[in-house]
Structure 1
Amino acid sequence: MEQSTGVGVFDKIDLVLSALERSPLALADLSLTTGIARPTAYRLATALEQRRYVVRDDQGRFALGPRLGELAAGGADDWLLRAAIPVLTDLRDAAGASAQLYRPRGDLRLCVASVEPTSGLRDSVPAGTLLPMNAGSAAQVLLAWSDEGRIARACRDARFTPEDLARVRKRGWAHSVAEREAGLASLSAPVHGPDGQVRAAISASGPIERIGRAVRAPMAKAVVHAGTRLSELLAGR
């Protein structure tokens, strides 16, 4: 257990957000997980909900909200974000599609940077958007190099299987069609940190007609090149 800051309300808020980072929780489970009395847990969670730090999912459970992602994405000193923008811009131009960079946030993924085409149909995912890890090529990439236990848990309600993720690891990229949203497709590749761990997923996404139901070699090559380029930039920073 982390040491108390001496500010009781802050410590309780930290407990609530840390619990929700692992998974969405109903009020009773939130109280049980944090050890905070149910009335207090309710007041804290609903106050955080008003400021969009917390939202309700379709089952009425509390979950992390978009405000946390917006704050994280807004950090001008984020070295990964600074390095990513020119790489994403080049990927957008090469693929003729929207380009995004995602980082894991507990059981979710956070879009930390996004570059859109100047014209035509696009898949707009603004920086700061939190998305689930159960669909989409970026989710596949962020999970593929995880330990077997996490992969098994994530795939219980996912649009892909552990076998799909094994293929992602083998070929070095992921492709999805209409997993996250009807009519959209995407290609993603890993971004490795200096320690070799996958730190992020870089993606090209857009209408199926643009990305393709079947993988197009030039598109896959452009995405993998972008991931490799960003990995090399991070290794040399």
Structure 2
Amino acid sequence: MSVTVPQRAPVSGIGVLDKASTLLAVVEGGPASLAELIETTGYPRPTVHRIACGMEQLGLLARDFQGRFTVGPRLGNIAVEACRDRLAAAAASALEDLHALTGLPARLFRRHSALQVCVATSGDPGEVLPVGSARPASAGPVAQVLLAWEEPETLYEGLTGARFTAGHLAVVRRRGWAEGPDPMAPGEVCTAVPVWAAGNRVVAALAVTGPAARMASPRRRLLGAAIDAATEIGDRLKRARGGRGGE
């Protein structure tokens, strides 16, 4: 595998930090073995090994199934949280348009530890779920979408005590959405789709909920409208992130 030499990283004047920054710049371009890190940076093997292993311990780097170094989960989580702070603003008009098109309440959820939290909503009076409403992310389509694309360790933790299995999540990943009874609205059915942002990570789940008869017809149109709204929200988050210098 060929590893691209990174552009010159910012220099702090603190040797170990500058070396760590250079290693991170390499793996930002794709997974790299220890030998590739050494060859690309020109640093001595003991130096690269010591810093890379230290960054792995801190969650700044991780290993793939081939043992190569990759960007660690800690950096990804920081990016996700930054996007989540802007979720409600990015989702407002998309949820309103989705509700107007379908006549059904539209809601946006994010994962917070073991909870699924409603961060934005649109619907008729009496149908609106209060923003801030939360329940354990252990059942329902929203919980499945929020967990399906997580890292293996988070998947394992999320499945503990869940009312769905790894097999259910595999189906969600394959088709790109989830559907089933809504734990937050007893007797109703929910269709949930992922919102992608922050370096192609799922930062939220968009859900449309209603009586089974209304959700079933026309099902394809409803699912398409939900996917379009989720894409719009994700695009707005990405543009906002780019407008802040790619933070």
TM bracket, shorter-chain basis: 0.5 to 0.7
- Report the Cα offset of residue 82 of structure 1: 1.0
CA offsets 1:122-155 (integer angstroms, 9 cap, x no match): 4x42101112101121111100011223223322
Partner of 2:175: 171
Q: Is the 8 A contact 1:135 1:180 kept in 2?
A: no
Partner of 1:152: 156
Q: Is the 8 A contact 2:117 2:135 kept in 1?
A: yes
CA 1:190/1:160 → structure 2, altered by over 3 Å: closer, same or farther? Answer: same
Partner of 1:227: 230
- Report the Cα offset of residue 179 of structure 1: 4.7
Partner of 1:26: none
Partner of 2:98: 91
Q: 2:130 aligns with which of 111, 126, 132?
A: 126
Instruction: Work out the CA distance in 2 between the residues paired with 1:178 and 1:113.
Output: 17
TM-score norm. by structure 2 comes to 0.58
Q: Is the 8 A contact 1:187 1:204 kept in 2?
A: yes
CA offsets 1:29-81 (integer angstroms, 9 cap, x no match): xxxxxxxxxxxxxxxxxxxxxxxxxxxxxxxxxxxxxxxxxxxxxxxx94221
- Report the Cα offset of residue 180 of structure 1: 4.9
CA 1:141/1:84 → structure 2, altered by over 3 Å: closer, same or farther? Answer: same
Q: 2:212 aligns with which of 208, 211, 231?
A: 208
- Report the Cα offset of residue 88 of structure 1: 0.4
Q: What amino acid is the match of 1:109?
A: Q
Q: What amino acid is the match of 1:158?
A: A
Larger Rg: 2
CA 1:180/1:164 → structure 2, altered by over 3 Å: closer, same or farther? Answer: farther
Note the residue ranges of structure 2 that are not aligned, 5 or more in a row.
1-83, 241-247
TM-score norm. by structure 1 comes to 0.60
Q: How many positions carry a matched residue from both structures?
A: 157
Q: Is the 8 A contact 1:172 1:224 kept in 2?
A: no
Note the residue ranges of structure 1 that are not aligned, 5 or more in a row.
1-76
Instruction: Work out the CA distance in 1 between the residues paired with 2:182 and 2:90.
Output: 29
The reply on whether 1:82 has 2:89 as its aligned counterpart is yes
Q: Secondary structure at the match of 1:176?
A: strand
Q: What amino acid is the match of 1:219?
A: L
